[in-house]
Amino acid sequence: MPDTPDAPAYRHVQTYRMLWVVLLVTAGFGGVMLAEAPTGRSGASWGGLLLMAASLGGALVCLGRLVIEVHARELRWHFGYIGWPGWSVPLAQVKRTEVIRTRFAWGSGIRGPLAHRLYNVRLGGPALMVHLLDGRSVTLGTPEPQRLQDCIQARLPAARP
């Protein structure tokens, strides 16, 4: 790990494989549909193809992976390759953590109400639920929930109100 004060003590990156598959299939289908367009509208077809490629590429850049990090005083997570959208929680606000399994029906992506939000790139599987002092909870899908929990627990303030 780097010796900078803000270097993460824990970092895990998960590719959002399902999104990649769905967007690539969509791109293939859209490409076939545009290729079948009448030849008299080839300029419009190329414009549509470029717009579709830019839209799908943008979705992958913004949502193509989930990154979870634990810093000295903060838990951070974000989707994509540019760090947006991203969220953070001060470790001082963590009440407790709980290793759970999400269900297939809960889906993937960003799910649930603000008070109990799930961030996941898989359909079901292991996760860490982080309960906050204000009553909210955040669930982060990860193949290594125990390691994430241990890293967070080691950095929690010793005294609780």
Lowest mean pLDDT among 58-62, 76-80, 138-142, 146-150: 58-62
Sign of CA dihedral 132, 112, 68, 5: negative
What are the residues whose beta carbons fall under 8 Å from the beta carbon of 96, sequence distance 6 or more?
A: 131
6 SS3 class: coil
129-155 pLDDT tens trace: 999 999 999 999 999 999 999 999 999
* Nearest in space to 92 (alpha carbons), one of 10, 11, 7, 152: 152
pLDDT beyond 60 at 159: no
Burial of 79 (0-12, 13-18, 19+ CB in 10 A): buried
pLDDT of residue 37: 66
Predicted TM-score (pTM) of this structure: 0.80
DSSP character at residue 133: T
DSSP character at residue 1: -
Is the separation of the CB atoms in 80 and 66 below 8 Å?
no
By residue count, the chain amounts to 161
Alpha-carbon distance of 138 to 94, in angstroms, equals 10
pLDDT beyond 70 at 28: yes
